Amino acid sequence: MNKRSIATVSISGALDEKLKAIAAAGFDTVEIFENDLVAFGARPREIGQMCRDLGLAICAYQPFRDFEGMPEPQRARTFVRAERKFDLMQELGTDLLLICSSVSPASLGGIDRAAADFHELGERAAKRGLRVGYEALAWGRHVHDYRDAWEIVRRADHQAIGVILDSFHALAPALPTNAIRSIPADKIFLVQLADAPKLELDVLSWSRHFRSFPGQGDLPVGAFMEAVAATGYAGPLSLEIFNDQFRAGSAPRTALDGMRSLLLLQDDLAGKMPAAAEPRFEPRVRSHGIGFVEFAVSEDKAESLARLFSQLGFRNTGRHRSKAVQRWSQGAIELVINCEPASFAHSHYVTHGPGVCALALDVDSADRAMARAQALKTRTFVQPVGPGELEIPAIHGVGGSLLYFLDAKGKNWDVDFEAVAGDEGNDRLVAVDHIVQSMPHEEMLSWLLFYAGLIDFSRLPQMEIADPRGLVQSQAIVNGDRSLRFILNGSTATRTLSSRFISEFFGSGVQHIAFSCDDIFAAVAEMRARGAGFLDIPDNYYDDLEAKYDLAPETIAALRANEILYDRDGDAEFFQVYTHIFEERFFFEIVQRRNYQGFGAPNAAIRLAAQAREVRPDTMPRL
Ligand SMILES: O=C(O)c1ccc(O)c(O)c1
Ligand SMILES: [Mg+2]
């Protein structure tokens, strides 16, 4: 089994904080980055001891730049420089130096010249029992392809000289990975892993700012790993991630995400190459939809939330026998209002104010879902919980909320509810269409990995949405049969609705829930009759719609009269309408899809502008 490693550059904080977080996440070994060491206030010997005290080996020191192919007198100087680093490595307690391919304008090309330099360095390294690994940077001056780096290493022909493979440098320029298979395993000194989203960007900037953990981007890291595994390589797999969000994020969270990403990668590989990796986890959880949504509110707010549910046509289908918990239903949608004082919901309310404290997913087997969740090191919730505190297996999800797994055994979550006489509701709403969670921008990749690692989610392309006060990044994930659609929103602009939600809610959470229906005009009419009001959409929008699509005048008039937004994609059509914001925290959307798969992205800016007009100006943070 390959040791699991991460480069210190991947994590935020000072070197000691990085190392603690890395050790706590369960890594075996680290790559120490030169900048982290040089900027740190302890000597290499002490840093080495710190690592060993934390149970971490140091698999490499890096990077050493602009070594190969130099003319004299610079050439002699590079060897002196390398000897100084060898001294440092011996104090630190690592035997591997990473040399990345030269970017120096002074360097001369030529495979044999570089090979001769490496042979000579190999002699010097071997005298001290050290090794040197050569990595092709995708932007190297003469060497920018791992196949050339390997050819240089092959010709250097020295036992202390090997090649270092980095998935980013191979995959970003779309080099074929098959040639990896013919490199002898003992000549691969280290394998570095990074993913990245597809971007139209020069490869240097792409690498230095947008790398991500495997599974968070679009590069075929799995195929790269298959090629590596085929060589029989048994050394460390080291995450090396240059990412601006990670630099700004929490060190423990990023380290744990790195571990989760490696576990997922190894598990996915084990499915293809049983000999290459550890035993397999339970497969990704298959969910058939949202079992229920639980809202934590205070007693007085419970009444106004219940009123809103009733206006939307929900039926009060149960009152808990002994607790302050209500159940509201419509179609396949189950909503729970929990204001029981001694409950998880209450502690959530105290921390976050009124909002969604838990989501329940319908799954085939809660035990298997929990087993996968545990294998991925998610946090299990241990108290018996559930609406009315029934025992339903749960883990901690976004922003301190819970994610329950509801299977046939848990289906009786409503046993302690007694029927209530009341009005019949409307039954226009069919199911939960999608759930939108807002989070700090630097947490988006973390929750993406959480969901996509756990559940059979796939990612849709990321979108940028213009809030009147800044940009919001929006990442949709959908499961196989689209019975689950989640949207993760994050913004670095502090005054966007998304960011304000986070500051006022004291953290990430569900900002909005969309319900589907088959006839939005009828649904809205009935809801209005029950007292519901909807977000005010400007007339300009409908004039623009009229110009854009040749909709019948009656249709435009009906959309306009009902504040319904519209989008079209080919023949597919989408209708959406929004409630007012509840307590300035969350809101609901009602949608109707006609073969439409998106979320009405062209309307998002309209909706955000309308909401910005609606929220009280005195709640706006001042600049
Ligand atoms: O961005 C760089 O310079 C750099 C340095 C060392 C590496 O291993 C790498 O992949 C990139
Ligand atoms: Mg690298």
pLDDT tens-digit series, residues 285-337: 999 999 999 999 999 899 999 999 999 999 999 999 888 999 999 999 999 99
- Among all bound ligands, the one having the nearest atom to the CA of 100 is 1
CA of 91 to the centre of ligand 2 (A): 23
Task: Specify the pairing of strand 96-100 against strand 325-330.
Answer: unpaired
28 touches 56 (CB < 8 A): yes
Binding residues are 135, 166, 192, 240, 434, 512, 589
User: What angle is formed at CA 34 by the lines to CA 191 and CA 144, rounded to 5 degrees?
Assistant: 45
The alpha carbon of 623 and the centre of ligand 1 are apart by a number of angstroms equal to 39
Stretch 401-429: mean pLDDT:
86
Three-state DSSP at 59 gives strand
Is-contact 369 403, C-beta < 8 A? no
Mean pLDDT, residues 181-197: 98
Nearest-atom number in ligand 1 for the CA of 7 is 8
Strand segments (E) across 186-314:
188-193, 237-239, 287-296
pLDDT in tens, 102-143: 999 999 999 999 999 999 999 999 999 999 999 999 999 999
CB 572 within 8 A of CB 597: yes
DSSP, res 96: E
How far apart (Å, rounded) are the C-alpha atoms in residues 610 and 544? 16
Q: Residue 585: pLDDT above 70?
A: yes
pLDDT classification of 423: cutoffs 50, 70, 90: confident
pLDDT of residue 4: 97
pLDDT tops 80 at residue 276: no
CB 194 within 8 A of CB 172: no
- Calculate the alpha carbon distances from 398 to 255, 508, 513 in Å: 17, 6, 15
Atom of ligand 1 nearest to the CA of 194: 10
Determine the Cα–Cα distance for residues 556 and 564; give it in Å rounded to an integer: 10
**Residues comprising the chain, all counted:** 623
Q: Please report which residue ranges of 461-530 form alpha helices under DSSP H.
A: 497-505, 520-529
What's the 63 CA to ligand 1 centre distance in angstroms?
7
DSSP state of 11: S
Arithmetic mean of pLDDT, 153-179? 98
* Half-sphere CA count of 427, side-chain side, radius 13 A: 4
Mutate to test the pocket of ligand 1, among 240, 244, 247 (most ligand atoms within 8 A of CB): 240
Q: Given a cut of 80, is residue 494 above it in pLDDT?
A: yes
Q: Is the pLDDT of residue 148 over 60?
A: yes
Specify the pLDDT at position 420. Answer: 87
Question: What CA–CA distance (Å, rounded) separates 10 from 32?
Answer: 10
pLDDT at 272: 80
Confidence of residue 617 (pLDDT cuts 50, 70, 90): low
Q: What is the pLDDT of residues 74-88, one digit of tens each?
A: 999 999 999 999 999
Amino acid at 286: R
User: Is pLDDT at 387 greater than 80 in this prediction?
Assistant: no
Q: How many angstroms separate the alpha carbon of residue 130 from the centre of ligand 2?
A: 19
Give domain limits for the chain: 4-276, 287-418, 429-616
Per-residue pLDDT, averaged over 339-360, amounts to: 92
Helices then strands, each counted (H, E), the chain: 20, 26
Contact status, residue 496 vs residue 480, Cβ threshold 8 Å = no
Range 287-418: architecture per CATH: Roll (3.10)
- Residue type, position 594, single letter: R
The angle formed by the CA atoms of residues 577, 583 and 586, to the nearest 5 degrees, is 45
Nearest C-alpha to atom 5 of ligand 1 is from which residue? 63
- Answer yes or no: same fold for 4-276 and 287-418: no
Looking at residue 382, what is its pLDDT? 80
Of 131, 124, 127, the residue nearest 96 (C-alpha):
131
Q: What is the pTM of this model?
A: 0.93
Residues contacting ligand 1 via CB (< 6 Å): 62-63, 98, 100, 135, 137, 166, 192, 207-208, 240
Is domain 4-276 classified as CATH 3.20.20.150?
yes
Residue 362 · residue 289 · CB < 8 Å: yes
Please report the pLDDT score of residue 277 as a whole number.
65
Q: Which residues are annotated as a binding site for Mg(2+)?
A: 434, 512, 589
**Closest Cα to residue 132, out of 70, 194, 187?**
187
What is the residue type of 603?
N
Sign of CA dihedral 370, 371, 374, 380: positive
Asked whether residue 414 carries a pLDDT value surpassing 90, the answer given is no
213-237 pLDDT, tens digit each: 999 999 999 999 999 999 999 999 9
Name the nearest CA neighbour of 400 among 350, 441, 333. 350
Mean pLDDT for the stretch of residues 166-181: 98
pLDDT value of residue 496: 86
- Ligand 1 centre to CA of 66 (Å) is 12
pLDDT in tens, 439-456: 999 999 999 999 999 999
Q: What is the mean pLDDT of residues 347-355?
A: 92
**Residues 6 or more apart from 594 whose CB is under 8 A from it?**
572, 573, 574
Q: Among residues of the chain, what percentage have pLDDT more than 70?
A: 97
Query: Looking at per-residue confidence, does 413 or 594 come out higher?
Result: 594
Q: What is the structure's pLDDT at 160?
A: 98
Question: How are beta strands 4-7 and 333-338 bridged, if at all?
Answer: unpaired
CA of 220 to the centre of ligand 1 (A): 19
Average pLDDT, the chain: 94
In this structure, are residues 132 and 161 in contact, taking their beta carbons and an 8 Å threshold? yes
Q: Do 147 and 138 meet the contact criterion of CB atoms below 8 Å apart?
A: no
288: tokens are: 């058939």
pLDDT band at 388 (very low <50, low <70, confident <90, very high): low
Which residues have CB under 8 Å from 1's CB, separation 6+?
Answer: 277, 278
Mean pLDDT over 271-280 rounds to 72
DSSP letter for each residue of 133-163: EEE--TT-SS--SHHHHHHHHHHH--TTEEE
Question: By CB neighbour count within 10 A (0-12 exposed, 13-18 middle, 19+ buried), where does 197 fall?
Answer: middle
Ligand 1 atom index nearest CA of 164: 8
Q: Which ligand is nearest to the CA of 139?
A: 1
Nearest ligand by distance to the CA of 98: 1
**135 CA: nearest ligand 1 atom:** 8
State the pLDDT at residue 362: 96
Give the pLDDT mean for 595-608: 95
* Rounded-to-integer distance, Cα 587 and Cα 605, Å: 16
What pLDDT score was predicted for residue 622? Answer: 44
Best CA proximity match to 79, nearest among 33, 31, 116, 32: 116
Encoding tokens for residue 41? 């206030």
In which band, very low, low, confident or very high, does the pLDDT at 384 lie, cut at 50, 70 and 90?
Answer: low
Q: Whose CA is nearest to atom 11 of ligand 1?
A: 137
Pocket test for ligand 1, best of 207, 211, 219, 238 (most atoms within 8 A of CB): 207
Which ligand lies nearest to the CA atom of residue 193 in the structure?
Answer: 2
The per-residue pLDDT for 409 is 81
- How many angstroms is it from 30 CA to the middle of ligand 1? 15
Span 506-532, pLDDT tens digits = 788 999 999 999 999 999 999 999 999
Query: Probe ligand 1: pick from 9, 85, 100, 146, max atoms within 8 Å of CB?
Result: 100
Q: Which percentage of the chain shows pLDDT scores above 90?
A: 84
| d(CA 587, ligand 2 centre) in Å | 45
For ligand 1, atom 9, which residue shows the shortest CA distance?
137
Which fold does the domain 429-616 belong to in CATH?
2,3-Dihydroxybiphenyl 1,2-Dioxygenase; domain 1 (3.10.180)
Provide the H-helix boundaries in 273-404: 299-311, 344-352, 366-375
Predicted pLDDT of residue 469:
85
Choice from 137, 146, 166 to test ligand 1 binding pocket (greatest atom count within 8 A of CB): 137
Q: Give the Å distance between the CA of 193 and the centre of ligand 2.
A: 8
**Residue 578, pLDDT score:** 98
Nearest ligand to the CA atom of 66:
1
d(Cα 74, Cα 64) in Å, to the nearest integer?
15
Give DSSP secondary structure letters for 298-319.
-HHHHHHHHHHHHHTT-EEEEE
